[in-house]
Chains A and B, each alone.
Chain A
Amino acid sequence: MIQGSNMAEAHPVGFQWVVDAKQRGAKVIHVDPRFTRTSALADRYVPIRAGSDIAFLGGIVNHILSRGLDFREYVLAYTNAATIITKDFRDTEDLDGLFSGWDPVAGVYDPASWQYEGHQEDSPSVAEVAAHKEVAGGLRHESHGAPVGRHTQRDETLQDPRCVYQILKRHYSRYTPEMVQEVCGVPPDVFAEVCRAWTENSGRERTTCLVYSVGWTQHSVGVQYIRTGAIIQLLLGNMGRPGGGILALRGHASIQGSTDIPTLFNLLPGYLPMPHHAQHPTLDKWVEGTIHQAQKGFWGSARAYCVSLLKAYWGEKATPDNDFCFGYLPRLTGDHGTYQQTLDMIDGKICGYFLLGQNPAVGSAHGRAQRLGMANLDWLVVRDLYEIESATFWKNGPEIETGEIVTEECRTEVFLLPAAAHVEKEGSFTQTQRMLQWREKALDPPGDCRSELWFFYHLGRLIRQKLAGSTQQRDRPILDLAWEYPTHGPHDEPSAEAVLMEINGYTLPDRQPLSGFSELKDDGSTVCGCWIYSGVFKDGVNQAARRKPGTDQDWVASEWAWAWPMNRRILYNRASADPDGKPWSERKKYVWWDPERNEWTGFDVPDFEKTKPPSYRPPDGATGPAALAGDDPFVMQGDGKGWLYVPSGLIDGPLPTHYEPVESPIRNPLYKQQFNPTRRYYDRPDNPLNPVGSTVFPYVFTTSRLTEHHTAGGMSRTLAYLSELQPAMFIEVSPELAALRGLRPLDWAHVVTTRAVVEARVLVTDRLRPLRVENHAVHQVWLPYHWGYAGLVTGDAANDLLGIALDPNVLIQESKVGTCDVQPGRRPTGRALLAYLADYRRRAGLSEGNQRG
């Protein structure tokens, strides 16, 4: 099941496994607004209106529950289906699109009524939720569920109207095939085929895999898209089992790694939160903030993870007497995310900006805002392989043409520092399945090219040197930092393996490498830079560098590189066995209990305490891992269960609900509530949105990748072969829309939103087709987003079309759907372009102070 992803195009070498499976009899279904290379190899392609996936998936949940097609034994034992919710909970079905607890002033929910029965007093306050939203707190749950504690009330018959199963059933009861047709434009017979295929291919003997990419994440309800997929996979018993699961296909070589060891404002390594000024005044409060007092599961050892990180940062200066230098950590006060930063740059609040292999002038939403922001800095450091758009906006960006940026008046000082390429340094990438793969260095980088390791190590060394002797309190954290790494070679390159060893962790004072996070201590006797990566240097061996050929191993290939946590290839794999520890079926056996040796065994590293029998029941008052029963497979969840219903931790509700995108051609057919009520939107004159149902912007657009290019083009439009293969920006339209707007193949057309006009060559294909939604035709158009004004092949940047509206849980922008107009011919240039846009805004009823129509 592939939805929200064009896997064949964007992850072609990974797609070989889909084709392999198909050749062995697997059925492949692709759901997407456009017929793509993935659709071409699928057994069934389902066209869908962009932005309507929750309605589609919710319809499948309804299909499963109304017919009792769930994998009941799995659902009862391994999910929270039987758990009782408070009597005060009200659903979006009751409140026309809002859950109980909505606070219109704060713009968030009071989630007290969403909690498990008996847990109401554990609920965070509205103020805490508001702070959580500001700092995208939901992102912490990539390694563990939100805190819930103690035991839960359950109804094993699933009949109690307040149990999750019944709440779920009621919530999706109106997501009928007819509603799916009305919202998504998918005919009932096609929808029925998908429902049948998915349910029939799940159970004891078979599993279904769900694949998504940023076609799901980049929405104002992106987290809830994925949640709906998770609900289906849990109901059908596809989690923790071979051939099942939810596969997120990520788009950069180490985007998983840069989330695990985050260069993100709200996280520290291993999904520890950056401290918040009000919520985390002390080390104890910081640790407490990450766990529930009576937390079950492995996350209960959070204090050891926190203290070991502080030891990695501040070494011998971090002692029990000074709370391990917790006071040195900077504090968050709110949203410090990349889009807030962009707007702050426009407002002149930011002096300096580092760009490290990222090209926001092309790759981020609202390109004009990105470029105007960068043009208002004191200084900008760009570290890249090529002269990317973000390094040259001051001389050749689109705003030069419109006069909004004047080179001689642009004050930004720009340092373009050449970076080392992937073969010119050693280090590890974490690929999309959490696997760290070490790269050997092939040769030294040329000229002034240097690795980021070199740049940041030496920048830190120089700053410490310049500040040495400072008596300023603010300089203590940098001067006391543990910043000694061995260097080698002609450029004094720091040792990447020494850094990986610090990430893995070691004991003090004898510096013995740790073999896993269970060895971490909270007394300062262990150092660990990222607890979930602990074990990557087990036995002093770089496990990520293991390269035993795949052909010399079994199909799990666990001796190739190393996956976090603990080299597990499938998470929660305890669920591949039944509650008694026996495989659900011989065909799908993966990890099971061996009663003779009294331990878990199988093809993978069991995601469970090795010697805890299936019959184990926790004694009263147990905490940490001991509080999880022998049949609680979801060990990072507080209650050991897979969550069909999320009682805590999400901003926009415990259950996914269909809301329209922030820009939509129609009113929400399901509820009065049009949008995600908790979406993050920056309401300012330079960030207007197209009004709902606007006849001025009647069409839906979406964007994605081409095989031959990569993201904003810095690593592909700069190369001759790739530029020759895909030389020009284009727009794909249906024959119907082409006829309607007079668009001719290979001629020019331009796309207009309230933010920008983008021109492109016309490609007319029947891969896009108008969908009947609410009794009128919705035309969708598609654009690749790779082009910009630098490189060997240039063109307008599709991301310029976007405004900035974000998912409230993780602050990711809605960039996979918007509304637009499409007109034949080239766009106006220079000042005329600004007048053209102003006229569109006027006709759409937008004026200063009225950005949303």
Chain B
Amino acid sequence: MRRLIESWPVYRQLTGMDPLGRGAAVKSARSAALTARTQTADTVARSVCPYCAVGCGQRVYVKDGVVTQIEGDPDSPVSRGRLCPKGSASKSLVTSPDRVRTVRYRRPYGTGWEDLDLDTALDMIADRVIAARAAHWEDRDAEGRPLNRTLAISSLGGATLDNEENYLIKKLFTALGAVQIENQARI
């Protein structure tokens, strides 16, 4: 009977050193046998939280080709291991079943999504960029000064992306003569 009562976490919380029930008081034979996902991971990548600009350090644990846990990186002098609710939820940002994993295509006047091969999509987009430039190219202004551009193409976004990505985006669009390139910093 005594063992039964002592196995009751509330009793152990009230009588032991763990009144909030965050440690020893709530352990059981089963929980003692559990292993943290962070211990069984195949690899750990050192990353950075993708939400706000504080830049909290993350450790990304992968097992069998799947992200099994994302935790705050205690080494980071910025965040000291902490993450907010968003950073703590970032595993599901990556693993959610709702994530789009294949190309979706809506044809003009279409009423729903269709499937499209990624290579085909890339090819179609390249054709559309080339056609928009050709149809709406501005060589020179009214006074004959060079313009070298098209105003038929726009792009928006970049603040959630990497520096290296923004670099290639700006470089490519500039070489294509597309100047209407913007991102969240303007918002």
Contact = CB atoms under 8 A, between A and B. Distances in A.
Interface stretch (B1-9, B17-25, B171-179): B171-179
A499 B164 contact: yes
A313 B101 contact: no
A452 B99 CA distance: 17
B87 A281 contact: no
What 5 pairs across the A-B complex have the smallest Cβ distances?
A550-B77, A431-B55, A427-B162, A356-B157, A358-B157
B98 A13 contact: no
A336 B160 contact: no
Contact of B87 (A13, A466, A483): A13
30 contacts: A13-B84, A249-B54, A258-B158, A262-B158, A263-B169, A264-B185, A265-B180, A268-B174, A330-B177, A330-B178, A338-B156, A386-B99, A395-B112, A410-B108, A410-B109, A412-B106, A416-B103, A418-B101, A431-B48, A431-B55, A439-B45, A439-B48, A439-B162, A451-B162, A463-B130, A474-B177, A477-B174, A481-B175, A547-B75, A551-B75
A412 B123 contact: no
A455 B153 CA distance: 17
B52 interface: yes
Given A330-B148, A358-B156, A453 B176 contact: no
Interface size class of B (residues with CB under 8 A): 35 or more
A337 interface: yes
Contacts of A344: 151
A833 interface: no
Contact of A448 (B45, B118, B123): B118
Instruction: Categorize the interface residue count of chain A.
Output: 35 or more
Contacts of B30: none
Nearest to B106: A414
B115 to A, nearest CB: 10
A36 to B, nearest CB: 15
Contact of A330 (B99, B129, B147): B147
Contacts of A16: 79-80, 82
A263 B158 contact: yes
Contact of B94 (A262, A331, A421): A421
A341 interface: yes
B170 interface: yes
B135 interface: yes
B168 A443 contact: no
A547 B45 CA distance: 12
A846 interface: no
A12 B88 CA distance: 12
A331 B93 contact: no
Contacts of B102: 418, 447-448
Contacts of B104: 387, 391, 414-416
Given A330-B174, A333-B141, A251 B52 contact: yes
Interface in B138-167: 139, 141, 145-149, 151-167
SS class, residues of chain B in contact with chain A: mixed
A254 interface: yes
A466 B123 CA distance: 10
Nearest to B185: A259
Interface centre among A259, A327, A337, A422 (most CB of B within 10 A): A422
B65 to A, nearest CB: 6
A41 interface: no
A423 B186 contact: no
A524 to B, nearest CB: 18
A684 interface: no
Nearest to A364: B187
Interface stretch (A238-246, A512-520, A708-716): A708-716
A353 interface: yes
B49 A253 contact: yes
Given A352-B153, A385-B100, A358 B77 contact: no
Residue in B93, B111, B163, B185 with the greatest tally of chain A CB atoms within 10 Å: B163
Interface string B96-136: 10111111111111011100101001111111111011011
Interface stretch (A110-118, A576-584, A628-636, A718-726): A718-726
A467 B121 contact: no
B46 interface: yes
B171 A443 contact: no
A810 B185 CA distance: 10
A13 B126 contact: no
B46 to A, nearest CB: 5
Interface in A232-273: 249-265, 268-269
B92 interface: yes
Nearest to B65: A443
A740 to B, nearest CB: 33
Residue among B75, B94, B100, B174 with most chain A CB within 10 A = B100
Given A262-B170, A413-B107, A442-B43, A431 B54 contact: yes
A302 interface: no
Contact of B187 (A410, A441, A725, A812): A812
A425 interface: yes
A345 B106 CA distance: 19
Contacts of B13: none
A387 B100 contact: yes
B28 interface: no
| Residue among A281, A417, A418 facing the most chain B CB atoms (10 A cut-off) | A417
Given A328-B148, A503-B163, A253 B48 contact: yes
Contact of A13 (B46, B70, B79): B79
Contact of A328 (B94, B109, B175): B175
